[in-house]
Every structure is written in structure tokens, then in C-alpha cells.
Chain A
Amino acid sequence: MAGAYIRGVGLSCALGEDAESGVSAMQRRQVRPVVLRLDEFDEPLQMPYYRIPDRAELFDAGRLERLLPPVARAAVAQAGLTPEEIHRLPLFIGSSCFSIGLSESRYAAALAHQSETAIPMPLCGYQDIAAILQRALACRGDTYTYNTACTASANALLGALRMIELGWYRHALVVGAEWANRTTLAGFSGLQIVADALRPFDAARKGIVLGEGIGAVVLSAETDSANRLRVIGGASNCDTWSVTTANTNGKSVAAVLNQALEQTHLRPRQVRGIKAHGTATPAGDTAEALGIRQVFAGLPPLSVLKPYLGHTLGACGINELILFAGALQRSFLPATPGFETPDPALGVQPIITPEAAPDGHYLLNHFGFGGNNTVLVLEKTAP
């Protein structure tokens, strides 16, 4: 049996602290970044940021441990897994930052206390998110932690999907986690691609706006009669043109789109819509737009979700899948706030008002540093 069903979801992002309210907020076109200021540098950094609307201090060291478990529990509860199934549940995790925020806090505290003995990177490795989840859910299954920049959680989902299809696992919990930390905020600022607002595919686009978000999906080989959404495949490739962006001629993007279609035995005309990656960087949107145009003679409707929750980097694959899937369940394709003026060089325009989402197949695009391009294919069917 090809594909795996989305049996349960959990989400916490700028749109709200559960998936349903997140989709509702997106339907209402809620766009609420806050202004963030980092004063520790010679020249203070100020940027818009989409934060999870909890009341904790943004860089609080205990925040991840508080935010992560409820999201995972929500997904598992909605999936209706038995205690035995939860016990053996494998975890597939995608993130760019992992526990770097905790490591920063501990190093800063050690420097303040006794600078001579302070050790940088006191926490290292990638296992902390898995450890938090295993403690919270009392699950002991295998873990796979992906660090492929902005495609990390999409690739984690691909990995889970393929192992479910092989019968290695019946269910898998796929988690995307990105939360505020200084390394990410200062690092992207140093790259000079942070903009004052997200304008995907717009002629005046200037760059990304960062966000934080934690999403969890229970993928399952089995479904119930009410389930209408199935991930049926996808593809990933590597573009070695530049470490920070896909080739702006669009060829590697077109290649991965074609691979995803071929792998799922679809033709371009069968695609009902695309959730674009839409980082709103000049080069990133160029590569994506030109790639899409090379594959699709007639363009399907295009939605970009980052204006709602910011660019949640390694978690965007799962976070945006949850929001897009939620919209499909309510039979609409989300509008794209921030898009106003078409860029003639791109030749694509995201939809600016919600459109109907019929049954059929949808593509979800993700591109990341390290040359990673990943496309997921989602199928919506009648109940």
C-alpha cells in the first residue's frame, strides 16, 4: 500500500497553540509578527519575528521542554494510538536549531559565573529533542534526527513514509521544531537576508522573516473512514550550485518536482495546487518560480504560508504541511498575504484570496541551505 495517512496533528506557532486554531487564524488571514530586539551587539539587531504566543521570556532555557510535549501529545491523542503503539513509536525529527538555545544559555551563564572555566557548546549533538519527546510520551522507538536546514522536517517525513511503506513501522511521529535562539537570529542577520516583511514572489520582495514553530504529525499505514489526507510520496535532490540557494535557472527545482511527480505516477495537469516554499528572497523565489514554470504549462494555484507563521526553517516542512492539510480538510487553498505586485521575471503569482480546494493531488515545496530540495505529494480524497 503506497503512502501513509495523516492520523493526528499538533501545532504551536505564531497563529496559535493548537492546529485547529492555527488553521482558523490562517483562514482569517491573521498575520502578527512582533518586533524583536537584541541589544548585546555593538549595533543592536532589530527585526520582525513570528513568535509562539506563550507568555514566557523568549530565550527562557526551559521553554523548549514546555512547548514540545503538548504538541506531540496532541498529535498522538488525535491519532488514537494504543499505549503499546505509543511505546514503540519511532520518532522522525527535523530541526535546524535543535537545542542550541539551551547550549547558548548555559554557556552565557558559565561565562557570567566563572569565565575562565566556561566551555562553549556545553550541550552538543542532536538528541535533546528526541530525549524530551521520549520522556514526555514514554515512547522507546527508534529515532532519526534530520539536519538538512529548511528541508529537515520534510525529509524526516519522507524517511518515515518510506519505512512505513516497507512495513518497518505501522506508525511514526514526525516532528518539526524550531524555536527562538540567538545563533539563528544573529546568523541570518549576518547573511543580510532578513526583511521587514514577507512578500513572497512579489517584485518588491527583500527577504525572509523568521519564526518559531513546533509541529507534530502521526503518519500511519492505517486510517479510519473519516481520514481524507494521505502523503503518497515525494522526492529530494541536491543542487551544488550554491550552499545557500538553488540554482536561479530553476533546473534543480524542476528536476525535483519532476521526480516527485514521476515517483507518484502523476502528470502535472493532475496537480490541484502547490504550497510553495516562498522564502521571499530574491534568489530563492526566482529559482522556485522558474522551476515551477519549467514543469507546469498551466500553473496550478500557488499558496505561500510563511506570511502567517514566518520561516520556521527546519520545522517548516511539518508546520506548513499541518496548516495546508488543515486548509484542504476545510476545502480551501490559503491566500498569500504580502503579495501585491507581480514580478515579470518570475511569471508566477500566488493566490491573494482563498480558493476552493477540490479532491486531488497537491505538491508541497521545500528548499534549504546545503543544496537540499524536497517536494512532498499530498492526496485529498472524498471521505
Chain B
Amino acid sequence: MSTETPAVRVTDLTVAYGELPVLWDIDMDVPAGKLMAIMGPNGAGKTTLIKAILGLVPPAAGRVEIHGGLYRDQRHLVGYVPQRGSVDWDFPTTVLDVVMMGRYGALGWFKRPGKRERDQALTALDKVGMADFRARQISQLSGGQQQRVFLARALVQDAQVYFMDEPFQGVDARTELAIVDLLKELRTLGRTVIVVHHDLQTVRDYFDWITLLNVRRIAGGPVDEVFTSENLKLAYGGRVEFLQRQAPCDPPPDAPDLGSYPGRIRP
């Protein structure tokens, strides 16, 4: 694997807001074809890491390579799904139009989307089960539907590496499983998918690679090796109410709040 070019290579990345370091000297290699979770407590810098890789926040130091090249040269290989809450859902546009936005990068400046882009968008909407909603104004969607639309928009980008910021935030279980199936399908096609994730319970089912983050990189690698109680303790600090051998469908009797992640982490 060391001979293969990683899909994402981050070297000595430091990001600071003013004097306050948000990410300290991050080194991270993500091999191609992995489905990776970025995990860590609130304020660990998960979103900032993605944004710094994508050049949306300026790093104080460090280097990012996508498939062996600098990000600005490899932009076309990268797909991005921001947090659902980062956009104004009252914006005057339709579902189909939002999905077509995923093609804007490939279209380049000035060129308008046409029939080809429309067909691509419809195919992607069909894939996420939202084809019937194509003409809807986007404010009329539920949270899960909004997330599916964002996913469809990422699909039409036809990228090699996807960055997704909390795609499971506020979606119901059915949508979550549908999204996971799609992500696994992307992996089967050899794409790399990097997901900011919160739910410790589902890591083993969803992901094969993980980076644990808490301002510094705590650990990273295959889930089987890295997703251990010691590493979780290092990342989250204190006692992590999670037993590695526990199957997700077999919760401990003393954990009442399994519907959402905070119940499982006690500082």
C-alpha cells in the first residue's frame, strides 16, 4: 500500500483561527477505495479538516494532495457535500436545479447547463429515490430529503474522492441506511468517501477506515485496528461508554438513550 498513491495525503496541516489552533500538525493518508469516518468530540476540528483540505479555510501550514497532485489541480476529482444547515433552503430554486449545480464545476465559467446535465441530474435523483420531487421547491423537503438531494448533487460531480460533512445529521433511520448503501456502492466503484461521522455505534457497520481527531490526529487506519477503547479514550477523553465487542443491535441494558450519540459518551 505504501507504494500506491493515496487518494488523500495531508501533511503537517495546521489551521488556526487567529491565535487559536483548531488543527495541529495533521498527517493523514487515506488509501483509494476506502470508506472513511472522521470522528472526534465537538470542537475537534472535523469540519475544519475537510474545509482546509478543500481550500475553504486557509491553512497556517501544511500540504494537501489528492491522488498525488495539489488540490487546485485535482479539483475535478473531488466531490463535496457540505452540512445541510450551511445553505438557505428558502432559496428560489428546485430540486433538479440544485442537483445540476454539481455539474457547474465541470461546465466551467459562463457555460449553461443543458440537456446532458439535466439527464445526469435526473439519473442521480432516481438513484437517491427523489426523482418524483424534481420540480419541488427545496423548502418543501424534509431533512432526510434535503440530504438525499445533496447526495444526488455529489453523485453528478462524478468524483473520485468525496468529502461529506455529517450526511446523517437529522435524517431518519431509513434514509441513513439508504445513504450508507450508496456510499458502499461508491466504494465498490473504487471511489474514496470521507465522512464526518458522530455515531460510534455504527462505525463498524458503515466504515472500513477511520481517523480519530481531537485538534491533533489521535489515530488512523483500518477500523479493525484503530477503533479501540484506548484510542476512543484518547480522542474523546474520560470514559467512553462503548464496548467494542458490543453489537449495535445488542445495546447494554444500562444505556437508555441509544437513539442518539450523546447517550453513549459520558465525559
Decide if A and B are genuine partners: no
Q: Which residues of A contact B (CB under 8 A)?
A: none
Q: Which residues of B contact A (CB under 8 A)?
A: none
